[in-house]
Amino acid sequence: MHSDKFQLATVVSRPFDENTYIAWLKGRHDCLIVDPGFEPDSVFDVIGQNGLTPAAILNTHGHADHISGNEAMKQRWPDCPLAIGHGDAPKLTDAALNLSARYCLPLTSPPADIELREGKQFEAAGFVLDVYEIPGHSIGHVVLVWKASKPMYVFGGDVLFAGSVGRTDFPDGSFAELAGGIHRKLFTQPDDAVVLSGHGPPTTIGQEKETNPFVGRPAGWQPG
């Protein structure tokens, strides 16, 4: 995906078809890595082919498929800061909390260098990202919104998908919290805002308002 301001590469990692995003501004050679998954070599390839240097590794939440590449990233770039929402920081170093143990493939990540909180901005590689905490899929899930672009872009993790939402049957899950956060914090963004989800294709806020069967108009949502 390309815009007049930035470039975006997506690496889809098996077995969960998780999206890792590499984002950089045109004319710059530093980048963001968002949710490095199970295929770190593919991330290395993208970064090498484009002559990039990571300025930050961002985790939208602490589930295994979104943090499994953290260790490889930190081994390659040990001084690159790793950031995650403060509520999910414990998941990085606990295989039970990050759900990898339940799949008999326990893994852990290096600990966070930076813990993100709502109301604060995160700046790296020329991006200024607003942090929103939206629990429900994971208690410490954060969504990162880049508002300087037109349209704006939302690194949404596993909150809102094209035609779906993140599952809420995990131990710290709550559909009520997830739906409420989507309505209050995402559906109040512009309709043309592009949502870069943790799985599946991009979508827009307007599309999900009108068609999402879990949280949009088909589910009874009406603009406030």
Q: Which domains does the chain have, with CATH numbers?
A: 6-219 (3.60.15.10)
Q: What is the DSSP letter of 2?
A: B
Structural contact between residues 60 and 157, judged by C-beta atoms closer than 8 angstroms: yes
Q: What is the pLDDT of residue 2?
A: 57
Nearest to 133 by CA among 78, 61, 205, 74: 61
Q: Which residues of the chain have pLDDT under 70?
A: 1-4
Q: What is the pLDDT of residue 126?
A: 97
Structural contact between residues 149 and 142, judged by C-beta atoms closer than 8 angstroms: no
Nearest to 46 by CA among 63, 33, 60: 33
